[in-house]
Amino acid sequence: MGHPIKRDHSRFRKIIKGKIRDNLRKYISKGEMPLPKGDGVYKIPMPSIDTPRFRFGDKEQGGTGQGEGQVGDPLGQGEDQPGEGEAGEGEGKKELEIDLTLEELASILGEELELPNIEPKGKKTIQSETDRYTSIGLVGPDSLKHFKRTYKEALKRQIMTGHYNPENPIIIPVRGDYRYRSAKSHVEFENAAVVIYMMDVSGSMGDEQKEIVRTESFWINLWLKSQYKDIEIRYIIHDATAKEVDEYTFFRTRESGGTLISSAFKLCRDIIKADYNKDEWNIYPFHFSDGDNWSTDDTKQCLEILDNEIIPASNVFCYGQVESRYGSGQFFKDLKAKYGEKSDDVILSQIKNKDAILDSIKDFLGKGK
């Protein structure tokens, strides 16, 4: 409690968060992702922010050690970083591990991209109960004891019974005087949201493309999670046929063969119909592909499904086109021709390479839908 170093510590956290924000672009484009640690806390590795000082270069340095071995023997133990052997001073390279909560991380993302908060549509349907300590009870644990109330009760009792002496105002509470803070349960209704990711896993989508989708979806999830208390995520992969898969499969499957985008859209439509009432749910379908579709007929079918069923049901439909060597990028053009760049219901984004991920995230989330 209360030691001034806690202020230094929170100062340090603030600086770190600033650093993470400054480096967010680099960080995201390198595909490094915060590791979830459970309890909604994420671990971010980052190099220790040390004060620059004149110091020796690594390559010529080496050091001294002790033990058995011939000249030329490796020191082993996997510690193969050069220059960790300064005697006297143990200023080796340290890596900091920063723990950030989901909210902190999301707010960094939000600040960097200037993302607006999402205005949810639909009724608040998910019930959640929270306890608020708003009333006073006669029983409770000591930790919730309300001193002021207890004192008042004791004072009242002593005055009433004539034990109060203004010359010597000692108040001694007895069992019945104790008052405790007590909780009232509130039922709150929250907005519910579902994200449906669709990805083209046909032969033309390579590992790099999938990596981009993975990174992007991580950050999109992060943002949406910070906006909605409860969120469901569904994954669909497709080539010529579509199927629903779990997260693991979604990012690791590689199929070959043709691409019928409509297959995914059909499945998406079916999922929405079956599980998510559009009046109660905020629905976010995301589709990622390299823009190749099998035929113009299929594209036509896609647009129909979008127009009639998916778009009316969802908050916004997002299409991200990952550039690949094989893809023609035709689907983007088709969508653009139909909906234009500034449609309210459809957001299109082209992702050229890893560096463009952040901008693409902004495209998708920047409208606050």
Partner 1 sequence: MNRTKPIEGELLELKEEIEVYARDYGLDFYPVIFEMCDYDTVNILAALGGFPNRYPHWRFGMDYDQMYKGYAYGLQKIYEMVVNTNPCYAYLLSVNNIVDQKIVMAHVYGHADFFKNNAWFRSTNKNMMDLMANHGTKIRRYMDLYGQNKVEDFIDKVLSIDNLLDIDALFYNRVVSSKKEENIEHSFSDDSDLSISLKSFMKSKERDELKKEAKTAHKSADIKRVESKNLPTKDIMLFLLENAPLEDWESDVIGILREEAYYYLPQRLTKIMNEGWASYWHSTIMTQKAAKPADIVHFADHHAGVMAMSKQRLNPYKIGIELFRDIEFRWDTGRFGYEYNNCEDMNVRENWDTKAMLGRKKIFEVRQSHNDISFIDEFFTQEFCERMQIFTYKYNPRTGRNEIASRDFQAIKQKLLNQLTNFGSPMIEVISSNDNNRGELLLRHIYMGVGLDLGYATETMRNLYYLWKRPINLLTIDENHEVKYHFDGKELKQVEGRPLPNPQGNLAGNA
Residues that bind partner 1 (CB under 8 A): 1-5, 7-15, 48-49, 51-77, 79-80, 82-91, 94, 96-97
Cβ closer to partner 1: 8 or 119? Answer: 8
Closest distance between partner 1 and the C-beta of residue 33, in Å? Answer: 21
Q: Which of 209, 198, 201 has the alpha carbon at shortest distance from 302? A: 198
Name the nearest CA neighbour of 289 among 233, 238, 362, 365: 238
Q: State both tokens at 115.
A: 């993302």
Distance of alpha carbon 7 from alpha carbon 237, whole angstroms: 49
Bridge partners of 350, per DSSP, are: 321
CB 233 within 8 A of CB 221: yes
Q: Report how far residue 328's alpha carbon sits from residue 322's, in angstroms, rounded to the nearest whole number.
A: 11
Nearest approach in angstroms of CB 20 to partner 1 is 14
* Angstrom distance (rounded) from CA 199 to CA 287: 6
Compare residues 87 and 170 and give the one whose CB is closer to partner 1.
87
Smallest gap from residue 292 Cβ to partner 1 (A): 42
Please classify residue 17 by burial: count the beta carbons closer than 10 Å to its beta carbon, then call 0-12 exposed, 13-18 middle and 19+ buried. middle
- Which CB sits closer to partner 1, 70 or 185? 70
Q: Quickly tell me which residue has 């030691």 as its tokens.
A: 3
CB of 52 to partner 1, least distance (A): 3
Whichever of 48 and 295 has its CB closer to partner 1, that residue is 48
List beta partners, residue 45: 97
Query: What SS3 state is found at 337?
Result: helix
Based on CB atoms, which residue is closest to partner 1, 88 or 166?
Answer: 88
Closer to partner 1 by CB, 87 or 187: give it: 87
Of 44 and 118, which has the nearer Cβ to partner 1? 44
Q: Which residue has the tokens 């490796």?
A: 74
The contacts of residue 342 (CB under 8 Å, 6+ apart) are none
Least CB distance from residue 10 to partner 1, whole Å? 7
CB of 39 to partner 1, least distance (A): 15
Q: How far is the CB of 114 from partner 1 (least distance, A)?
A: 22
| Minimum CB distance to partner 1 smaller for 98 or for 109 | 98
Least Cβ distance, residue 85 to partner 1 (angstroms): 5
Among candidate residues 250, 268, 188, 193, the one with its CA nearest the CA of residue 224: 193
Residue from 196, 219, 202 nearest 290 by CA: 202
Query: Which of 84, 307 has the CB closer to partner 1?
Result: 84
3-state secondary structure 254-274: CCCCCCCHHHHHHHHHHHHHH
Kindly state the smallest distance separating residue 36's Cβ from partner 1, in Å.
18
**Coil, strand, or helix at residue 5?**
helix
